Amino acid sequence: MNAPHPAKVAGIDSTVPSPAHTVASAAPGASPVTGAAAPSAAVGPDAPGALLQDRLAGWVSDLTTLHELTERLVRTDTLSEALDEVLRAGAALVGARRGLVVLEPADGLGPDTTVGLGLGRADLGHLETVPRGCLPHGRILDGLPVGEDGVAEPDLLADKSLDPRHREVAARLGYAASYALPLSVEGTAASSAGTGPSITGTAASAGGAGVPAGSSGVPAAGPRRLGAAVWFYNEPAEPGARPRHLAGLYTRYAAQHLARLLEVERTRTAMATMAGELLPSRLPRVSGVQLAARHRTGPLGGGDWYDALPLPDAALGLAVGSVTGSGPSAVAAMGRLRASLRAYAVMEGEDPVAVLSDLELLLRLTEPARSATALFGYCEPALRRITLAGAGHSPPLLVGERRTEFVETSVSAPLGMLACWEAPSVELQAEPGETVLLYTDGLLHRTGDPADRAFARLHAAAAGVPRAARHDPDAVAEHVLRTVLPGGKADADSAEDVVLLAVRFA
């Protein structure tokens, strides 16, 4: 009968600089964390000085390693990037090759997500079949008590106390040991109530213990759980005291960074939801035209909007606009302005100049410190005609088989800039199958090009719409958006909102 396979001690991965000297090498009985030597370690007259020098060299190397890893972490500006970096850095510290991190804030406000390192979607699915309480990170997420230095399972296949399903999945995925750490932040009572994490609430001592910082007198509310991370070993192994200590210091810092990104992500989601609720939930179906829209908002929320509403006599009101500023106040102002424009359009939509004149008067009286640009069109689908009036807005773009041209509109100031706004309207006559593109300036500003080059890029993108896609306004809008803003610019965070409304005449 074979003897049990002894567990290996996992060390720091070679991808991270390791100390040239460690306490263990200076004194066989010394602690890798504290550096305390055994009584029999002092040999020769120079032993105390050599021990101190070796200990200092190890500390400097450890600090250098943590500095490099945290520097890489702070360069991440999204939750997904940060979670990937935490997994890679933790794997290097504890000497693993695979792992996963589960983001599941204890306040239940989300977002909840799971990210794997060296694990495919199917592998993550297999792990989800294991009862949650049987997994080390599952116990952390459930709030069960765990040691300060994490949860180590050095030999999963030999430990008969583990759940059989866990051993089965471990054998299928090819890992024999695991090491898990919680991701939590120290917070005050106020932060636990939902005001965000306390970034300066604790300071890690050399031994990794939380020490209250500051003198505000606010009592600590304990750690707030954000999630858990676990790393897997292909063979029986367990990280030693020094890798555990470094990994613990790193994850405590990483949790603070994740908490900040979590608040940003929640703010971004809330602003996008609020802005989306103030825009049309669906575009109307009107005989003779097809509609499609694209809307992108920045993390702070902006004031760009679009609208399409049925009017009497089988007409259609089309509008795009932008309110100055960003954040909740701009989103709220956009909602008020759009609602007012809808009311004016129903009453006098056949006269776009009158609609924008009323809107300008409302803006000047109710929000004198704010200005806005707007474009309103009274569309008659049966005649393939749009009567347009603009206030400081970019001209529409007409796209057809034989022409791609900007529609000449009168030059006018934005709403709220003059004591009395009024500008003549223009008529646009389209041919069957042609598409009119209405857009906000954010589409041009996100390119980063000067105005003339941005307009040229937009014109070239519209002229280059594939012939097979011209019958579908949704395909036209998507092609123009991705061509004008390539390389992910359309979906990246930006202070500029983007609105694109495509109107195709049958």
Residue 414 has what DSSP assignment? P
| Tokens, residue 289 | 């035209």
CB atoms closer than 10 angstroms to residue 263: 13
Residues whose CB is less than 8 angstroms from the CB of residue 353 and which lie 6 or more positions away in sequence, other chains included:
389, 422, 423, 424, 425
Of the candidates 14, 13, 11, 15, the one whose C-alpha atom is nearest the C-alpha of residue 25 is: 11
pLDDT at 299: 74
Given a cut of 80, is residue 289 above it in pLDDT? yes
Do the Cβ atoms of 505 and 434 come closer than 8 Å?
Answer: yes
Q: What is the b/e burial string over 149-158, where b = at least 16 CB atoms within 10 angstroms of the residue's CB? A: bbbbbbbbee
DSSP 3-state of 131: coil
pLDDT tens digits for 365-378?
888 888 999 999 99
Helix or strand run (H / E) with residue 253: helix 241-277
Q: Using CA atoms, how far apart are residues 184 and 265, in angstroms rounded to an integer?
A: 17
CB atoms closer than 10 angstroms to residue 460: 13
Given a cut of 90, is residue 495 above it in pLDDT? no
Average pLDDT (477-497) is: 90
Q: Using CA atoms, how far apart are residues 111 and 451, in angstroms rounded to an integer?
A: 38
Given a cut of 90, is residue 255 above it in pLDDT? yes
**pLDDT tier for residue 290 given thresholds of 50, 70 and 90:** very high
What are the distances in angstroms from CA 341 to CA 317, 345, 371, 441? 10, 6, 15, 19
Q: Using CA atoms, how far apart are residues 397 and 401, in angstroms rounded to an integer?
A: 13
3-state DSSP of 215-252: CCCCCEEEEEEEEEEEEEECCCEEECHHHHHHHHHHHH
Given a cut of 70, is residue 257 above it in pLDDT? yes
Task: Express as a percent the part of the chain with pLDDT over 70.
Answer: 82
Q: Which of 210-214, 348-352, 453-457 has the least mean pLDDT?
A: 210-214
Q: Give Dmax over CA atoms of the chain in angstroms.
A: 104
Q: Using CA atoms, how far apart are residues 442 and 461, in angstroms rounded to an integer?
A: 16
Strand pairing category for 237-239 and 8-10: parallel
Do the domains 278-505 and 8-36+44-268 match in fold? no
Residue 150 has what DSSP assignment? -
DSSP 3-state of 313: coil
Q: Using CA atoms, how far apart are residues 255 and 253, in angstroms rounded to an integer?
A: 5
> Distance of alpha carbon 50 from its chain centroid, rounded?
49
Average pLDDT (303-330) is: 92
DSSP 3-state of 403: coil
pLDDT at 1: 42
Q: Using CA atoms, how far apart are residues 176 and 195, in angstroms rounded to an integer?
A: 41
| Tokens, residue 266 | 């929640």
Mean of per-residue pLDDT scores for the chain: 83
pLDDT at 224: 87
Average pLDDT (58-73) is: 90
Given a cut of 50, is residue 58 above it in pLDDT? yes
Given a cut of 50, is residue 109 above it in pLDDT? yes
**pLDDT tier for residue 274 given thresholds of 50, 70 and 90:** confident
Given a cut of 90, is residue 118 above it in pLDDT? yes
Top mean pLDDT of 6-10, 163-167, 217-221 is at 163-167
What are the distances in angstroms from CA 94 to CA 88, 120, 151, 242, 450? 10, 21, 13, 9, 50
pLDDT at 234: 93
pLDDT tens digits for 126-158?
999 999 989 999 999 998 877 778 899 999 888
Helix or strand run (H / E) with residue 143: none
Phi, psi of 31, rounded to the nearest 5 degrees: -85, 130
Domain positions in the chain = 8-36+44-268, 278-505
pLDDT at 47: 67
Q: Which of 5-19, 209-223, 261-275, 412-426 has the least mean pLDDT?
A: 209-223
pLDDT at 36: 39
Q: Using CA atoms, how far apart are residues 61 and 19, in angstroms rounded to an integer?
A: 5
DSSP 3-state of 322: strand
pLDDT at 116: 95
Residue 393 has what DSSP assignment? -
Q: What is the b/e burial string over 193-230, where b = at least 16 CB atoms within 10 angstroms of the residue's CB? A: eeebbbeebbeeeeebebeeeeeeeeebbebbbbbbbb
Do the Cβ atoms of 170 and 134 come closer than 8 Å?
Answer: no
Given a cut of 80, is residue 423 above it in pLDDT? no
Kindly report whether the global pTM for this prediction surpasses the value 0.75.
Answer: no
Q: Using CA atoms, how far apart are residues 426 and 415, in angstroms rounded to an integer?
A: 18
How many residues are recorded in the chain?
Answer: 506
Average pLDDT (2-31) is: 45
pLDDT tens digits for 156-215?
888 888 888 998 999 999 999 999 999 999 864 334 334 343 333 333 333 333 333 444
**Of 417 and 225, more confident:** 225
pLDDT at 197: 39
Given a cut of 80, is residue 451 above it in pLDDT? yes
**pLDDT tier for residue 23 given thresholds of 50, 70 and 90:** very low
**Of 425 and 28, more confident:** 425
**CATH among 3.30.450.20, 3.40.50.620, 3.90.1520.10, 3.60.40.10 for 278-505:** 3.60.40.10
pLDDT at 395: 93
| Tokens, residue 465 | 């719409």
**Of 31 and 183, more confident:** 183
Is it true that domain 8-36+44-268 has CATH number 3.30.300.210? no
